[in-house]
Amino acid sequence: MKIYLAQFNPIVGDLEGNAKKIEEISLHAFKRSADLVLTPELSLWGYPPKDLLFNRSLIKKQDKILNKLSNDIANKFGNLSIIIGIAETIDDNFFPNLYNSIALIEKGKWSVIARKNILPTYEVFDEKRYFRSGNKVSILEKNINKRLWKIGITICEDLWVNQNIEGRGIHKRDPLNDFESKELDCLINLSASPFTIGKFKNRLKIANNASNKLKTKMIYLNQIGGNDDLIFDGSSFILDKDGEKIKQLSSCKEDFYCWDMNKQKKIPKKERNISDLESIFDALVLGVKDYAKKCGFKTALIGLSGGIDSALVTVIAAAALGSKNVFSIAMPSKWNSINSQIDAEELSKRLNINFDVISIENLFESFRETLEASINLSIEGVVCENIQSRIRGSLLMALANKNNHLLLSTGNKSELAVGYCTLYGDMNGGLAVIGDLYKTKLFKLCNWIDSELSNNARKIYNLPLNNKIIGDKICNKPPSAELAPNQLDTDFLPPYTQLDIILKGLIEEKKDLIQLQEEGNKYDLISRVIWLIKKSEFKRKQAPPILKLSNQSLGNDWRIPVAIK
């Protein structure tokens, strides 16, 4: 039996386009004499469709598309069978009235063969808003070459049932238990699992756990692509019955593989070890590339200050969109050092991107004169700093509107957490590229980019080879917003090496003040950081989508009220 793994990139809500792509994939599978094509969870919709699932016209449209696709597959590819992820309607008066289901297309018809049992409601997931849980496991039986094949089907979370691996506690029900006596030839998991740092290792563990428990081969097929703030890295794989990896598909790009289950296990080719830093870079490049493409942008705009944050975002944008499609603007004021402008211009030359300079001094003086003359408002302190930032934000938005650029926000997670950012200023943008990357991690990523370890990525993304890209002058510069004379970030914040430990403890590890104090952090500093996080919540509610990298970003999976004690 030959199974064709289709790790492809759907567009959320584009049912017709996704169906067309599945048909194109089926052609390639047919040419390889495949018997069964696998596509990821909700592959007809793209994941996550969110409240598009409430659109009744789309639900009705789905059935028509499935009917047409079934006829086309049968007419063009004969007995080829396709597994496709759909939203199945439940015909009763209760809500929600959908299942997260898997349909089988074969012989000109389609039918539901599996329903998701375990619906996640943590981090970015909110599936109980849309779906009901299935109540039994599913086995697909296929007669191929005079043999009956028994294939167990699970959908994403149905596999995440081991507390020691996934760490969220034991589910009330473990679907894997229902497969134990079925003597499966293979277990399939059709998934839409977003990228987070280190998550691939956990996927491998949970699949290995299932394979060992059921003593069967295992296919883990994952979605690929960026959908808003979520990045799906693919990284699908096949395990033998001992839980050892037979094949792994590519990370962060579409990939397809035809697996002949009849053949004995082959020793896989030695895989290149991808570090966490490289996987972060690949994910961010994919996130920017797909967000721009799926939202109709061909070019990106960045306020390039000469600092490390905007430098990193610029490198990512160049890798994602190509250097000719990246436009950068330096906007100096009298408090910016001339070296910052030089550093920004030199970076733009190394990347061969578009670069311009617009001074904001005259605009700032106009603001100062108007406010002082009209309402006797003295422009000093934070008012002075925020006006500069908002002038820059307005200029960037004007250029973005004029030229249909995607404006990329350059703030990092450390700044966003404590509110060291300006609404309608440096927070302006359509996408927060590094908003889930702490400053200390950001420095490590930039050092990786400038090292020989990034050579493979540079070749893939057509970035400059041999020499450093970001450069020592930017990487070694003390962080500063340069909104006041001789200003440094440490004038307002503790050193990032201290701050990020506390932030990670509070945000991702859910530790309280006492726990952090017991770990050696100062009480006054912890208290101040907690206060800053609370005080700046209103800013995060108005931030652009943040590309998710961690198990707790400050985006859709951060649901803290603004008005709290």
Q: Are residues 251 and 313 in the same domain?
A: no
Q: Are residues 289 and 241 in the same domain?
A: no
For residue 103, give the H/E element and its range: strand 98-106
Q: Are residues 312 and 200 in the same domain?
A: no
Q: Give per-residue pLDDT as tens, 431-458.
A: 999 999 999 999 999 999 999 999 999 9
On whether residue 315 sits in a domain, the answer given is: yes
Q: Give per-residue pLDDT as tens, 187-209.
A: 999 999 999 999 999 999 999 99
Q: Give per-residue pLDDT as tens, 25-40.
A: 999 999 999 999 999 9
Q: Are residues 93 and 221 in the same domain?
A: yes
On whether residue 506 sits in a domain, the answer given is: no
What is the model's pLDDT at position 416? 96
Is 537 noted as a catalytic residue in this protein? no
Instruction: Please check whether residue 9 is in contact with residue 254, taking contact to mean a CB–CB distance below 8 angstroms.
Output: yes
Q: Are residues 356 and 445 in the same domain?
A: yes
Tell which of 212, 227, 258 closes a domain. 258
On whether residue 191 sits in a domain, the answer given is: yes
Counting the structural domains of the chain, the total is: 2
State the maximum Cα–Cα separation within the chain, in Å, rounded to a whole number.
Answer: 90
Domain extent at residue 420: 278-488+536-540
On whether residue 508 sits in a domain, the answer given is: no
pLDDT score of 267 more than 60: no
Instruction: Please pick, among 21, 88, 106, 116, the residue that the annotation labels catalytic.
Output: 116
Instruction: Please check whether residue 407 is in contact with residue 428, taking contact to mean a CB–CB distance below 8 angstroms.
Output: yes
Q: Give per-residue pLDDT as tens, 292-331.
A: 999 999 999 999 999 999 999 999 999 999 999 999 999 9
What is the model's pLDDT at position 485? 83
On whether residue 553 sits in a domain, the answer given is: no
On whether residue 565 sits in a domain, the answer given is: no
Distance CA 433, CA 11 (A): 20
Q: pLDDT-based confidence at 168, cuts 50/70/90?
A: low
Bigger pLDDT: 214 vs 272: 214
Q: Are residues 359 and 299 in the same domain?
A: yes
Instruction: Please pick, among 21, 41, 247, 413, the residue that the annotation labels catalytic.
Output: 41
Is 199 noted as a catalytic residue in this protein? no
Cis peptide preceding 464, ω within 30 of 0: no
Could you please report the per-residue DSSP string of 295-309? TT--EEEEE--SSHH
Q: Are residues 188 and 283 in the same domain?
A: no
CATH of the domain at 160: 3.60.110.10
Q: What share of the chain is helix, strand, coil (3-state, %, to 5)?
A: 40, 20, 40
Instruction: Please state the rounded mean pLDDT for residues 81-99.
Output: 94
Is 41 noted as a catalytic residue in this protein? yes
Q: Are residues 211 and 319 in the same domain?
A: no
Would the CA dihedral through 493, 499, 503, 505 be positive or negative? negative
Q: Are residues 285 and 248 in the same domain?
A: no
Tell which of 196, 224, 258 closes a domain. 258
Instruction: Please pick, among 88, 106, 156, 511, the residue that the annotation labels catalytic.
Output: 156
What is the model's pLDDT at position 481? 83
What is the model's pLDDT at position 171? 67
Q: pLDDT-based confidence at 334, cuts 50/70/90?
A: confident
CATH of the domain at 411: 3.40.50.620
Q: Are residues 131 and 229 in the same domain?
A: yes
Q: Are residues 316 and 207 in the same domain?
A: no
On whether residue 204 sits in a domain, the answer given is: yes
Name residue 251's beta-bridge partners: 234
Under DSSP, the state recorded for 477 is: S
Q: Tell me the average pLDDT of the chain.
A: 92
Q: Are residues 337 and 479 in the same domain?
A: yes
On whether residue 272 sits in a domain, the answer given is: no
Instruction: Please state the rounded mean pLDDT for residues 12-37.
Output: 96
Instruction: Please check whether residue 230 is in contact with residue 192, taking contact to mean a CB–CB distance below 8 angstroms.
Output: no
Q: Buried (b) or exposed (e) across 144-166, using 16+ Cβ within 10 A?
A: eeeeebbbbbbbbbbbbbbeebb
